[in-house]
Amino acid sequence: MKFVLNAIWLVLCGLWMALGYVLAGLICCVLIITIPWGIASFRIAAFALWPFGRTTVERRDAGAGSLIGNVIWFVFAGWWLALGHILTGIALCVTIIGIPLGIANFKLIPISLMPLGREIVPTDRPFATR
């Protein structure tokens, strides 16, 4: 079932959202100081391409640097990507078949707003649940 949902997701919204994350990552990597945000953006792009069967968990070793970095990310790129998730989530929820995909889009909003201090793990890993 995960494969079917991921395949439909890839066609309907995964590719577009992943391209948004890749664009944000490329812009961040152009400037030397924002490379950590670029790497995080590339990680989320892979997650946005194939999200079913994976989840995010908080990293316990993330500290104040992640908080400050997330505030900077939110101002420059996070809210644009979250807006993309909101709009595609609403569009997908219009159809009955798209409702699970729309809900998955809404679940990606927190990581699009605050990517630092999070880790993407498979759902079958024991510590994947909070």
| Tens of pLDDT, residues 29-83 | 998 888 988 998 999 999 999 888 888 887 777 778 788 888 988 988 889 999 9
Q: What's the CA gap between 42 and 38, in Å, rounded? A: 6
pTM, rounded to two decimals: 0.82
| Tens of pLDDT, residues 1-16 | 788 888 988 988 889 9
Q: What is the pLDDT of residue 57?
A: 82
CB 28 within 8 A of CB 45: no
Q: What's the CA gap between 83 and 64, in Å, rounded? A: 26
Q: What's the CA gap between 28 and 112, in Å, rounded? A: 15
